[in-house]
A and B are shown apart, each in its own frame.
Chain A
Amino acid sequence: MSTSTDNNASITQESGPSAAVQDIQKKIVVRTADGEVFNLKEEVAMEIDIIKTFFQEDSISYETVMPLPNVEGWEMVKVIEYCTKHVELKHKVDGYKERKAFQALFVQNLSTKSLLALTNTANYLEVKYLLDFLCQAVSEQIKNKDVDYVRELFGVENDFNDEEYEQVKAEAPWAHENLNNDLH
């Protein structure tokens, strides 16, 4: 049984132009904190500035696996998902609606805490447009929440004593009223 199913695309039976393009496209390999390994298409990888700088600045060969110790596997999945879509939409003339629909789906199953973690990751990886989008998404989710929720989310301790708290609250008491606290 000698015919090995060779995954190397250059021996593929199809000879159409799209397949030819796919062969040439290089892959960049990264490893996240939890040991997961990801193969990224070069054009997607180059959207992530920290990866781009790593390989281009010192002309490091694509054979090297880049470690990303501050990134979890699930975060990498989401980042790749967003950047891939971004690259795809770059070539489209009017992708506004499609982008909006994609963005809504993207955040759908993520808790606010996860969104926040992802924001941190986007900052570390240096993907500006993803960072902007995530900051906006987080602010949307917290804008109607109360002070306790926000403290818990960001892990911030209350360093006001009772008297001080009442004082600062009195600066704008109306801001604490009429909150549409959506269950989350």
Chain B
Amino acid sequence: METSRSQVVELSYTLALGIPENILVEILSKLPVKSLLRFLCVSQEWHALTKSSYFIARHLVHHSSCSDQIRPCLLFLSSLAGNFEDDCKPRLGFSLLRDEEITFLGLPSLPNLTIKTAALKLVGSSNGLVFCHVIDTENWTSTTEEKHDIASRFRELLLVWNPATQQFRCLPEPKNNISLEQEEEATSVLFAFDCVHDHDISEYKLVRVFSHGSDDPTDHGKEVTTFEAQVFIRSTNSWRQVKDKLAFPSYKSCFESTATTLNGVLYWKVVQKSDECYVLSFSLHEEVFSIIQLPICIRYLNRDDYNWTTVPLYSWKDSPAIVVTDYSANGNPNIVFWVMSTNEESKSNTNESGTQMRTPTWVQQVRLKYSVLDGFGMIGRWKDQFLFTSKKTNEAAGATDDIEPEDLFLYDPRSDTKRKIVKHAVRIKFIQVENYVESLLPV
């Protein structure tokens, strides 16, 4: 410990036992959130302390380093099967895995979302805040019957939630600055979420990316599709249009379920009419789009490639990675991770519309024998290991009502070992996963 003796003497002392404040902070920052929310009733000083951003930051630092050890702390988008007797449809919500125990949490204000009537996407989790996008077709109140647009048929919610403090907030809806005709075509909405704590630990940014037909009135063949974005920042509490746009030529489709946010950059896969594939990205910090070129051997879409259309972009050691099934090596399929190198020297130039086009180096890393994982569905990654459920992931996640228990495994490719981390999660199915850490961050 580097503190000098004079520093120890200068610290303020609190009452009878003479516990210096820095020690009190150390002890309290190791407590779980529920205990802290109770102890803020101890005194005015403790109340102020637990609300201070200094303390919130120390608490977060401690708990982040804790969950980094042997036992993962993960949040899963999941479904909970109903009881046979009630003939309930599976409920949608989240499961929290901590210390090898699973708890199912319903969504705040929407505890009864079911698979049949709602779509729920876990956009991301950062510093203890969870962001979800909900489309609820059952529990809506229509205000205008006349409009034909999709909005009146279901309720769409953007929810920020801190499961530990149980605070939540519905964000205001963004408005599209595009013509009504374009709006009807507007599809492929993607979201990304990240904490941008340069100055303030509780600041976060949310981005909504959407695509629509060309802005160019002469483009009747709809050759060019434009991607635009809007951002929401907590401190401003409002949406703002982003200046940069991406004009993508010869666009055929984009795969929303493949979108991943990594280090404040949103990545997603798209394909052109010629079946040539690209990865597009949007940086939350710089608010800039770019087009990323892929290595030749995975650049062209194979119609049977299940991985391309639905498997999300993964990450490996902090870089985006594309997962493909490789049949080349003596007929035995392998799962291969192509990892993008993010060094500064990767070539980039600007195309006619001013969008950055990058051609980074992609390296094949991690080969998993497909046979090892046969019968398992990969749903995510934790550190350098992979998370699997004991059933293949359903194409339409959660489509079945069966209540067979699911196991959750961690597979370590370096030692080729599987470790069961949840046994027989009865009635719970795991759909999507994010790292999670308990925190006091306000929503």
Q: Which residues of A contact B (CB under 8 A)?
A: 49-50, 53, 116-117, 119-120, 123-124, 126-128, 131-132, 135-136, 138-139, 142-144, 146-147, 150-151, 154-160, 165, 168-169, 171-172, 174-176
* Given A142-B31, A146-B38, A174-B166, A49 and B1 contact (CB-CB distance below 8 Å): yes
**CB < 8 Å: which of A126, A151, A156, A158 contacts B8?**
A126
Indicate with 1 or 0, residue by residue over B7-23, a CB within 8 angstroms of chain A CB atoms. 01000001111111011
CA distance A147 to B36 in the complex (A): 10
Q: When the two chains form their complex, are residues B35 and A144 in contact, meaning their CB atoms are under 8 A apart? A: yes
Q: When the two chains form their complex, are residues B17 and A147 in contact, meaning their CB atoms are under 8 A apart? A: no
Q: When the two chains form their complex, are residues A165 and B15 in contact, meaning their CB atoms are under 8 A apart? A: no
Q: When the two chains form their complex, are residues B47 and A120 in contact, meaning their CB atoms are under 8 A apart? A: no
**CB < 8 Å: which of A117, A124, A156 contacts B46?**
A156
Q: Which residues of A contact B39 (CB under 8 A)?
A: 147, 150
Q: When the two chains form their complex, are residues A176 and B38 in contact, meaning their CB atoms are under 8 A apart? A: yes
**CB < 8 Å: which of A126, A135, A159, A175 contacts B26?**
A135
**CB < 8 Å: which of A119, A143, A156 contacts B42?**
A156
Residue of B nearest to A54 (CB): B5
Q: A-B contact count, CB below 8 Å?
A: 100
Q: When the two chains form their complex, are residues B1 and A156 in contact, meaning their CB atoms are under 8 A apart? A: no
* Given A53-B5, A131-B1, A172-B37, A158 and B18 contact (CB-CB distance below 8 Å): no
A22, chain B: closest CB distance, angstroms: 29
Q: Which residues of B contact A49 (CB under 8 A)?
A: 1
CA distance A143 to B31 in the complex (A): 6
CA distance A31 to B30 in the complex (A): 33
**CB < 8 Å: which of B1, B37, B40, B165 contacts A128?**
B1
CA distance A151 to B15 in the complex (A): 11
A181, chain B: closest CB distance, angstroms: 12
A119, chain B: closest CB distance, angstroms: 6
Give the number of residues in B that approach A within 8 Å (Cβ atoms): 36
CA distance A132 to B1 in the complex (A): 11
Q: Which residues of B contact A156 (CB under 8 A)?
A: 14-15, 42-43, 45-46
CA distance A104 to B330 in the complex (A): 54
CA distance A151 to B302 in the complex (A): 67
CA distance A146 to B35 in the complex (A): 9
User: From residue 20 to 63 of chain B, which have CB atoms closer than 8 A to chain A?
Assistant: 20, 22-24, 26-28, 30-32, 34-35, 37-47
CA distance A168 to B44 in the complex (A): 10
Q: Does B237 contact A (CB under 8 A)?
A: no
B181, chain A: closest CB distance, angstroms: 48
Q: When the two chains form their complex, are residues B37 and A175 in contact, meaning their CB atoms are under 8 A apart? A: yes
CA distance A11 to B27 in the complex (A): 50
CA distance A119 to B16 in the complex (A): 15
Q: When the two chains form their complex, are residues B23 and A119 in contact, meaning their CB atoms are under 8 A apart? A: yes
A152, chain B: closest CB distance, angstroms: 10
Q: Which residues of A contact B31 (CB under 8 A)?
A: 139, 142-143
Q: Which residues of A contact B41 (CB under 8 A)?
A: 147, 160, 165, 168-169, 176
Q: Does B3 contact A (CB under 8 A)?
A: yes
Q: When the two chains form their complex, are residues B43 and A160 in contact, meaning their CB atoms are under 8 A apart? A: yes
Q: Which residues of A contact B46 (CB under 8 A)?
A: 156
Known: A151-B42, A156-B14, A172-B166. 18 other contacts (CB 8 A): A120-B20, A123-B20, A123-B23, A126-B5, A131-B26, A135-B26, A139-B27, A142-B31, A143-B31, A143-B32, A143-B35, A144-B35, A147-B42, A155-B17, A160-B41, A160-B43, A172-B38, A176-B41
A127, chain B: closest CB distance, angstroms: 7
